[in-house]
Amino acid sequence: MKKIIEFDEVCDSCKGTGLYVGFAEHDGAAIVCHHCGGTGRYHFEHEYDEFTCRKNPPRKIKRVFLTNPG
């Protein structure tokens, strides 16, 4: 069964200001943060299947290695 986790968080790129001041912007200049569109808010949404138990592989497995030998 699909579940969705979603929440709003402070945009990490602009620290919630909606403005981005980077290397090229100086003397009081800024550009609208492209990450959040100037809102200062980042909406996180992730859809996932809740883990219940380990599933069987889709086809028959004959040998299992601990790691890829290279």
Name the residues that contact Zn ion, by CB under 5 A: 11, 13-14, 33, 35-36
Q: Which is nearer to Zn ion, 44 or 51 (CB)?
A: 44
Answer for the pair 1, 50: CB distance below 8 angstroms, yes or no.
Answer: yes
Q: Which residues pair with 4 in a beta bridge?
A: 47
The least CB distance from residue 61 to Zn ion, in Å, is 46
Distance in angstroms (rounded) separating the CA atoms of residues 20 and 56: 48
The least CB distance from residue 32 to Zn ion, in Å, is 8
The least CB distance from residue 5 to Zn ion, in Å, is 21
